[in-house]
Amino acid sequence: MGISYVEFEDEAGITRRYRKHVNGRGLVATTAKVDPTAFVDPKAYVDPGAEVQRAAQIGPGAWIEGDAIVAERAVIGVNAHIGRRAVIGRNAVIGPYATVGENARVQNGARVPRETTIAAGDEYHASTQDLRRLGLAA
């Protein structure tokens, strides 16, 4: 099977090309970096310049905007939106319908609840319970 591409015109009128990711068949911009072990749902999008690292999971309807980073083993929930240049830490979980604003940061191991909005530039910290779940807190 050959590589299939889909093209979209962005809000600035620039045509962007996306390909189907090998693991999950989600749409990944040709200039994004997505590890082959990451899962990108067929209804998810990863925009130009974004990076999705090893074993991360991008759920149905999720949108990773340009230059955002989703670190190792992070989980992005159903219809979650990760803004431009946002950083999602290792083992973090972004709940369904949550929004992480532009330039925001979610710490390693943090769990962002469903429908939560993290404002642009804010940092969301992992709770003690989140860290215990990962064996990182006493």
Structural domain harbouring 129: 5-133
pLDDT in tens, 88-120: 999 999 999 999 999 999 999 999 999 999 999
| Torsion angle of C-alpha atoms 126, 131, 132, 134, degrees rounded to 10 | 130
Q: What is the CATH number of the domain that holds 68?
A: 2.160.10.10
Considering the domain boundaries, does residue 95 fall inside one? yes
Cα 56 from Cα 115, distance rounded (Å): 20
pTM for this entry: 0.90
Considering the domain boundaries, does residue 120 fall inside one? yes
Considering the domain boundaries, does residue 97 fall inside one? yes
Considering the domain boundaries, does residue 11 fall inside one? yes
Considering the domain boundaries, does residue 138 fall inside one? no
Into how many domains does the chain fold? 1
Considering the domain boundaries, does residue 50 fall inside one? yes
pLDDT in tens, 7-49: 888 788 888 899 999 999 999 999 999 999 999 999 999 999 9
